[in-house]
Amino acid sequence: MVQISEVKESQASRETQTRTAAHTHIKGLGLDEHGVARTIDGGFVGQNEAREACGVVVDLIKAKKMAGKAILLAGGPGTGKTALALAVSQELGPKVPFCPIVGSELYSAEVKKTEALMENFRRAIGLRIKETKEVYEGEVIELTPEEAENPLGGYGKTISHVLVGLKSAKGTKQLRLDPSIYESIQKERVSVGDVIYIESNTGAVKRVGRSDAYATEFDLEAEEYVPLPKGDVHKKKEIVQDITLHDLDMANAKPQGGQDVLSMMSQVIRPRKTEVTEKLRTEVNRVVSKYIDQGVAELVPGVLFIDEVNMLDLECFTFLNRALESAIAPIVILASNRGMTTVRGSEDMDFKGPHGCPPDLIDRLLIVRTLPYAQLEMKTIISKRAKVEGLSLTEEALAELSAKGISSSLRYVLQLLTPAGVLAKVSGREEITLDDVVECEMLFLDAKRSIKVLETTKGYL
């Protein structure tokens, strides 16, 4: 007799599931139907004006009236700038491209800074292509490869053609397919009972899922079941594909060399990452514009989020100005936690700009300000974050953490939560108490106390 036993979930696997990122709790902007920010919603607490401003931006992006414009999220560290950008992407939905980068990563790329910036611009612009294709769609009721003698001689057999029977709600059809299509069928792992569609022009095969007539075939199901297709087997079907302009650039930039030794060698010694020329991008834009005019494709301007914008230099800022004025441009969201600071790349070291940006770029930006949190707001954030991490706090511990957050920073007290939870567990408690928090503060210094130690201690290198 075959023995089947249930696998018990271990404590270790439960802990893995509760691993959380910095913004796991952010689910959206938390606005009502009139665009007014609820005090606590979507993972946000406070920052009402900034959330409402971002809500207006989301509406403009959806209405396609925001392309080529830029916004700057300005505020101190830990005031929710990255969380706002993430919430904007979640409000837009998965179909709108969202490309987050950090200002400093442009300097570590294999290509020029401006080229890396342009690549990310193109990643943030989507193209939705709608094609009406003639397809054969239905449930596979027959799949018979027919063999023939090998024309090259020998004992092997070759497949001459394949008979496929397809059934839809209105009837059945038997198709005689080319052997090359049989290879596609094998790659898709199609078997009798699967719902597929075959494009009549290209012969491309797509497996949609298993027919729901087989839904109770096994006790444990790991398949996706789909209903029997409606209409005739042979029909016209609208197929929608979402790609980015960067995908089109890279598809056309790949070298199409011959099969001789010299062309193969040139491809081997070619750098791993090649720059896309401006001429190629112009050609791609021309073809995209033609498709849009014909109504075949639709442009979907997405969001390019550049954090630590003060890390960019004058060369990047100049390029950013020109890129924003181009006919095809996404919405750009910048974030900075600096005030008046030196603009990188300027010959004059005393040349300072607001948030590290030159004056000509600042004039183009809509600036959204994020404010420091009050103690009550901080208390709510800490309790929400503790809940996300699966931790429980006493009222005294929560009050101590919120007070410490005002004197040091919100990030510091949020980082204390996990080690405090470890200390509580070691002491055999389910809840984090005031003693655990105080012990953590002794073990881990905040920035202000660390600076004091450095000032009063001699001998540091």
In this predicted model, what pLDDT tens digit does every residue of 265-314 receive, in sequence order?
Answer: 454 455 555 677 888 888 888 888 888 888 888 888 888 889 888 888 88
340 vs 74: CA distance, rounded Å = 12
State the span(s) of the chain assigned CATH 1.10.8.60: 375-456
* pLDDT value for 328: 77
Which residue, chain included where needed, has tokens 């630590």? 308
Which helix H or strand E contains 264, and what residues bound it? helix 261-269
SS3 313: strand
pLDDT interval class at 216 (50, 70, 90): low
Give the model's pLDDT for residue 29: 85
Q: Nearest-5° angle of CA 104, CA 109, CA 115?
A: 95
**Per-residue confidence (pLDDT) for residue 155, from 0 to 100:** 63
CATH 3.40.30.10 fits 127-299, yes or no: no
**50 vs 368: CA distance, rounded Å:** 6
> Which pLDDT belongs to residue 13?
39
CATH T-level assignment (fold) for domain 375-456:
Helicase, Ruva Protein; domain 3 (1.10.8)
Of the chain, the percentage scoring pLDDT greater than 70 comes to 85
Confidence bin at 459 (pLDDT 50/70/90): low
Pick 151 or 267 by higher pLDDT.
Answer: 151
Q: Which two tokens stand for residue 344?
A: 């990188």
Q: On the CB side of 388, how many CA atoms lie within 13 Å of its CA? A: 18
Write the single-letter amino acid at 436: D
Contacts of 438-444 with CB under 8 Å at 24 or more apart are 438/400, 440/416, 441/404, 441/416, 443/419, 444/415, 444/416, 444/419
Higher-confidence residue of 271 and 197: namely 197
φ and ψ at residue 168, rounded to 5 degrees: -125, -175
Dihedral pair phi/psi, residue 142, rounded to 5°: -150, 140
Say whether pLDDT at 438 is over 80. yes
Q: Comparing 414 with 263, which gets the higher pLDDT? A: 414
What's the pLDDT score for residue 272? 52
pLDDT, mean over the chain: 79
Burial label for 157, CB within 10 Å (0-12, 13-18, 19+), is exposed
Q: What's the confidence (pLDDT) of residue 76?
A: 85
pLDDT computed for residue 108 by the predictor: 73
pLDDT score at 21: 64
pLDDT (0 to 100) of residue 6: 42
Whether the per-residue pLDDT at 64 is higher than 70: the answer is: yes
Give the pLDDT confidence of 316-348 residue by residue, as tens digits.
Answer: 888 888 888 877 788 889 998 888 888 887 777
Is the full-model pTM beyond 0.75?
no
Res 12: pLDDT? 41
Q: Which residue intervals of the chain bear CATH 3.40.50.300? A: 40-124+302-369
Parallel/antiparallel/unpaired status of strands 225-226 and 40-41: unpaired
Residues 40-124+302-369, CATH architecture: 3-Layer(aba) Sandwich (3.40)
Domain with CATH 2.40.50.360 in the chain: 127-299
- Tens digits of per-residue pLDDT, 81-134? 888 888 888 888 777 888 888 888 888 767 788 888 888 888 888 888 887 778
For 383-434, what is each residue's pLDDT tens digit?
888 888 888 888 898 888 888 888 888 888 888 888 898 898 888 888 888 9
